[in-house]
Structure 1
C-alpha cells in the first residue's frame, strides 16, 4: 500500500488532483496540528483526525454521511434544470468525492435530506425491499375526510404503479395538517397518494428517515456530519 503523503490525503478529500493538492500545499495554507506543512511529499505516520486548509478545520474521513435541512426551491440534482441544486449548499470538494442524495425531495418540498458517497448506505435506505420508514408533515388544501384516511391506510393504486401503496401510520394534527409515514420512496409518492383520494398537498416537509429525526438545530440550507450512532441507527446496527 502506498505511503500516505500529504498530497494523497488532500486529493482523497476532494481538493482536486494530486497536482492541484501539491500546489495548494506549497501555498502554505495547509496545517496539521497547528503546524504549516509545505512539503506535499511528507509521509504521515498515521492519518490525522483533522487538517486545516485556508483556516478551516477539515475532518479527514473519506466516507461522507451528511444530514441537510433541505430548503424549498432547491433541486436534488447534480444537473438542475430550473433551480439551484442542494449540492451548491455543500463544500465543492464533496462533489469530487462523488456525493449523492439518498432519494430525493422535490423542489417544493423541504426537510430532512441525507447525502452520502457510500453506495451500500444509499442502497440500504433506498431499497424498496427494506421498506425504510419515512415520516412527513403534510399541509392539505382541504380537510382530510374519514373515508380518505381509511383509503390511505388500506392502500391506493397510483398511476403507472402495479402495487398498492399505503400509509404505515397517519396522524391528524388538525383538519388540514397530517403526519404520514410510508415505507416506499416512489416518485412524488406522498403527493400522489393524497391526490388519489381526492385531496391536494399544499406543503410537504420530511421529518424523519429510519427513525432518525431532522436535527432541530439545523436551519434551512444548513447541514452536518452524521454521528457514528446515527449511521448505526440507519443501518440497523444498534
Structure 2
C-alpha cells in the first residue's frame, strides 16, 4: 500500500535557539545532511516517496533547499508548491511544500493540508526533528492488524537524551504515526495541538496504540542531543 507521508516542519524550535535562530529546525545538519533528509530517506527506504511538508517558520529556506534539487516544479499559490527530486536510479521524491502558517499549532497544520489527503483512507505522519532506525513496514503491518484509528512509535530515549529517564518503563510517543484520515475530523482549527488535543485522548480511549521500538530513536531538543546523535552516526 502506497501511503503519503506528512511531516510537521513548521515549528520555531525554541528549545534549541542556538541553531534555529538562523534556520528552521528540520534543516539542522547531521552527518552532512539535514534532519529532514534523514527522515525522508528512512521513509523512502520503505517505499514511501510522496511527502507533504507542513511549513511555517523560515519556510523559504526549506523551499530553497528542495528547489535547488528539483527537476519539476508546480506552484499552487504564492506560498505553496510541488516539486520532484531526482535520486539517480531510485524512485524520485514527490514533495508538496505547503505553507501552514508561522504560528499554527501542530493539529492545525495537519488540518490545513487535509485536502491533499481527501482520497486517502490512511497516511503516515511524523515530526521534522525525530530520527529512528525503526522498521516502519513492521509498524504499518501492526497497525493494519489491529485496525485502530492510529498507531505511534513507542520509544525509549537514548541515555543522555534530554527526555531520558533511567527506568525500564520510560517509553514515550516518538512520532512516526500510522493514522486513519478519520482523525482529521477531530481537529477544530489552527489552535488544536496534535498530541495534547487529539493523540493523547485517543490513546486514553485505546483508539491509538503503541508500536514498541527498542532500537534507536532521538529527537533534537538541545545541542547535547545533536552531539549524541552525531557520535552515534560516527560509531563513537
Question: Higher Cα Rg: structure 1 or 2?
Answer: 1
TM-score interval w.r.t. the shorter chain?
Answer: under 0.3
Identify the structure with the greater helix proportion: 2
TM-score (normalised: structure 2): 0.24
